[in-house]
Amino acid sequence: MATTSPRDTVPAEPVSTDRGAFAVLRNWSRGNPILASQLRGFALVAIICTVISMTIFANLRPYTGTQWANVISLMLCSVLNTELNRRMSFGINDRHLWWRDQRRGLWVMLLALAMTSGSLLVLHQIAPNASIWVELAVIVLGNVASAVTRFLLLRYWIFRRVSHGSGAGAK
C-alpha cells in the first residue's frame, strides 16, 4: 500500500525564488522610489567622503594629533559632502541656495564631529596608546552612528525644498 507523504505532493503555486531580505528591499524600493534613490546616493556619498576623510586624518594625525586631524578632515570634507549630497542624493544641480545649503551642511557636520571627537576621547581614556587603525575604526563607527540623523537633517531641513514623493511640490 503506497501512500504519499506531504513532501511528495506538488505545490499548487510555483515556488518563488524571490525571497529573503533582498526581495523585501527590492519591493520596498519599488514602492518608495524617491526615498530609495536618495538613500542610494547618500550611501555612495558616505563611502566617498569617509575614504577621503580617513585619508586626510591619517596624513594629518602625526603632525596635529588625533582631535585636530579629526576636526580638519571633517571640515574639509563637509563642503564636498554637502555638494555631493545635493547632486547625487537629492538631484539639485543648480547654484540656487548653494551658500545656505553649505552653511547648514556645516551645522550637520558638527553632529558628526561631536560623535567622532567624543568617541576618540572615550577611546583615549580606555586605551591611551591605541593604534591609528583603532582610531580610524572608532571614527568610522562614530560617522556611521551619526549617519541616520545626518540623512534626516539633509532630507527634511537642508533639502526640504525637494519633493519627497508625498504629492507636495518643492518647498
> What ranges do the domains of the chain cover?
29-158
Output the 3-class SS for 89-120: HCCCCCCCCHHHHHHHHHHHHHHHHHHHHHHH
Q: Are 37 and 21 in contact (CB under 8 A)?
A: no
pLDDT of residue 11: 52
Q: Name residue, grid cell 501512500.
A: 3
Q: What is the pLDDT along the chain (171 residues), one digit of tens a residue?
A: 555 555 555 555 544 456 777 777 777 778 878 888 889 999 999 999 999 999 999 999 999 999 999 999 999 998 999 999 999 988 888 888 899 989 888 988 898 899 889 999 999 999 999 999 999 999 888 888 888 888 888 888 888 877 655 433 333
CA separation for the pair 114, 95 (Å, rounded): 29
pLDDT of residue 1: 52
Q: Are 94 and 78 in contact (CB under 8 A)?
A: no
pLDDT of residue 62: 96
pLDDT of residue 166: 43
CA separation for the pair 127, 109 (Å, rounded): 26
Give 3-state DSSP helix, strand, coil % of the chain, rounded to 5: 75, 0, 25
pLDDT of residue 2: 53
Q: Which three cell numbers stand for residue 51?
A: 575614504
